[in-house]
Each structure stands twice: as structure tokens, then as C-alpha cells.
A and B are shown apart, each in its own frame.
Chain A
């Protein structure tokens, strides 16, 4: 009943046959999905660490501004955020006249921007939560050693909070990987986008959608496994004692 020939024939397109690669990207299909994912995760994490520090800081203004940012981005659908950036920004002449328009009119850059802002909001809250959870003994010890505030943050608080954030962050990575599937709704040919194209060409729903479902399942299991390894490496001191 399932036409395996179609799957085999279209497999290069799913993996990244590059004939649907958007501007600024190198490929489509699986490679585009991974590109979107890793670029936005990397930028998101870089944004999230300073934002988390602001979120827990005693400065009321900084803390509430970051709160507002995470509140808005966690309270609205990613699809709406993506549409505001991709369709919405063109409403303003000053955006269209600026140097950034060259990038912002491309779906690829808009998708990365939207995904980055979205994952940064969730990651900020994850890291901020773990910074607040830092054991008071660690901070007292750092102060007793005469560390300055920033040295203490850099050497004690942030490394320890990032380690403890791993389990929650692994969830965020898997959620984000699945969320990249909405990229197809702004013309990009990521895994889901390719599947939708194959579907509209052949009008066969099972072959393309089950194929990409398998891709996503493998990716999900892969990430879960990698994070298990990472936790064993960096969170070994929190694991239950074996003897």
C-alpha cells in the first residue's frame, strides 16, 4: 500500500538535495532543519546567559525588562512571532530603508531570528531558575575566598548553573527541533516543507509525512541520547550513589 519507490526516489530531497535551498543557506531538507536548529540554539544560548544574569540581578529595571521579554515570547505561539518578523516588519518604511532589510526580507534570516528570540526566552528562564537554586554554601565559599562579584559569577555560579540546567535544556532543544517544522509555513523547504511539497506534487500523504516523522523521531532519540551522555559527564556529582 505504501509506495516505497516514491520514498527512495525522494530521499535525496529529504536529506538535502539543495534544489530548494533558500537564499543564504546551503541546502534544504534535513540539512536546512539542522542549520536552522543549531544556528538559533547557539545564538539563543549566547543571549540567554547575560539575560539570565539580568533576570536575577538586584536591578529592578533590568530584571523586569527581561521578565517582560520572556513573558511575551513564552506566552505567544512561535508561529505568530515568526509571522510578525517575516510579514510584519515590511510595514515600516524605516525597516525597509535600513541595511538590515537585505536580510530581513529573506525567510531564512527571519526564521533564525524568530527561533533565536523564542529559544532565548525559554533558556533565560531555565538558567535564571538554576542560578537562583545555587547552593548558598558555594556563594559563601566564593566570597570567603575574596572573589569579586564577576569572578564569582564566571567561575562558580554560571558553570554550576549551566550544568544543573542540562536536563531542562535538553527538553528545550528537543522542543525547538520540533518547532523548526513551522519554517515550512514561511516558504522554507525544511524537512516538513519538503514533505508538504512532495505531498502537493503526488497527492500521497502517507509516504512523505511518515518519512519525515521517522526523521524527527530519530533526531529526538539522538538528542535525548546525547544529553544523557552529557549529563553523565557533567552532572556525575548529582547522580545517585551506586555504592
Chain B
């Protein structure tokens, strides 16, 4: 039997990996939008804060951030709870993993969204305001639909890097595809087959994402004139 019946277990792990990736993407998009707004805010401290965030996160490996935030965060929460005389809660590793990866990729998304928002002509937003739209409505109806086209290439790249980074979450105790592969490896004694399957799974995920995002890019570039040499 192929992999002594461990394939379903690996596929289950894949589902968890995908869940972590998608949930972290959502966190990173929210953080990225906030970061981009801070970077373009008129207040200097906000700009510095966003600058500090994106520099510190992008200058340190993902793995170090995961270890620091996961173990450090756990210790801080435990300390705090002991001091308050509470029962320290068990940290959910899924939640911790999602928050950590979301925090890391929020910094990359900050740069993506900042560039994209700046690529939309300012007159567009001014025209929206002149029509009496609220700033939120201007963002949702004017800025956002136009910035997507500029943000997509870099967004796609971030997503692909994020998917590959989720391979690291087994380090903080998540029962993901790498963790399952580790178990299957020890029992089946077929390490090459196990990790080749995991590699193919990741390749399938990145290929499908790449295809879908290319389609989306086409969709959002409708009406933009293309030239060919």
C-alpha cells in the first residue's frame, strides 16, 4: 500500500496548512492596510511606527519571529496571569501560528499596499471627496478598485512566499502537513517518498494559486491598453 496508508493523514495535514495560510493571509491584509495608511498618515509618529514595523519584520527571518513570538508571547501571558492571580490559559497553537505569520506578512503587505495606493492618481480621491463621499466610501468605491491592479503582482508574490513559510509552523507544535510527514517518515521508513509527496502538494498549491492570480490580474487590468513589441 502506498505509504502504508499514511496518505490520508498527510492530506489532512494539508487542509490544516491551507487553513493556516488563508487565515494568516486575512490577518496580513488587515495589518498591511493599516500599515499602509499609517505610512501615508500626516502624523510623524504613525509614519515612524509603520516604518519600524516593516523594517524590523523584514530584517529578521520568519523562523526567528515565530520562535520569539510564540515562546515569548506564551511567557508574557503566563507572567501576566500569575501576577493577576489568574489561571494561565493554554495558547491555541493554530491561533498563535496564524497571528505570527499574519504579523510577519503584514509587513510585506504594508509595502505592497502603500505602493499601490500611491499609484492611483490623487485627483481620483479628490473627485470622490468633492462629490460628498465619506473618506471610507471614497476608499471602498474609488481607491480600492483601482489599487487592486497595482497591488496584485506583489500580492501574488507575497501569497506564494507565505504558503511556503507555513511549512515552518510545525516548529511551534502545529499538526500540519510537515508534522504529519515527520510521523509518516518515522513509521514507513520511506522518507524520500513522504517528502516528495509533500513537495508535490506544495507545488500543486503554488501552481493553482499562480494560475488563479494571473486570471485575476487579467480581470483587473481590463480596459488598460497593452502594447506588444
Q: Are B195 and A80 in contact (CB under 8 A)?
A: yes
A81 sits at the interface (CB 8 A): yes
Q: Dominant SS at the B interface?
A: helix
Contacting A81 at CB < 8 Å: which of B58, B64, B74, B199? B199
Known A88-B192, A91-B191, A205-B67; contact A213-B202, beta-carbon cutoff 8 A: no
For the complex, is A221 an interface residue (Cβ under 8 Å from B)?
yes
Render B45-74 as a binary contact track against A, CB cut-off 8 A, 1 for contact.
Answer: 000000000001011111111011001101
**Residue contact A206 to B191, C-beta cutoff 8 Å:** no
The bracket for how many chain B residues form the interface is 35 or more
Distance between Cα atoms of A88 and B181 in the complex (Å): 12
Which residues 213-236 of A have a CB within 8 angstroms of B?
213, 216-217, 220-221
The interface size of chain A toward B, counting residues with CB under 8 Å, comes to 37
> Which of B132-140, B145-153, B165-173 is near enough to bind chain A?
B165-173
Interface residue? B207 (CB, 8 A): yes
Query: Which residue in A87, A192, A206 is a CB contact (below 8 Å) of B185?
Result: A87
Q: Is the CB of B164 within 8 A of A77?
A: yes
Q: What are some 7 contacts across the A-B interface (CB < 8 A)?
A: A80-B167, A80-B202, A90-B191, A192-B64, A206-B72, A209-B64, A220-B58
A residues with CB within 8 A of B: 71-72, 75-81, 83-84, 87-92, 178-179, 181-182, 184-185, 192, 195-196, 199, 205-206, 209-210, 212-213, 216-217, 220-221
Known A88-B195, A91-B191, A185-B171; further 19 A-B contacts with Cβ < 8 A: A76-B202, A76-B206, A77-B168, A80-B178, A83-B191, A84-B192, A87-B191, A88-B191, A181-B63, A182-B63, A182-B168, A192-B61, A195-B67, A199-B67, A205-B71, A205-B74, A206-B68, A209-B72, A217-B59
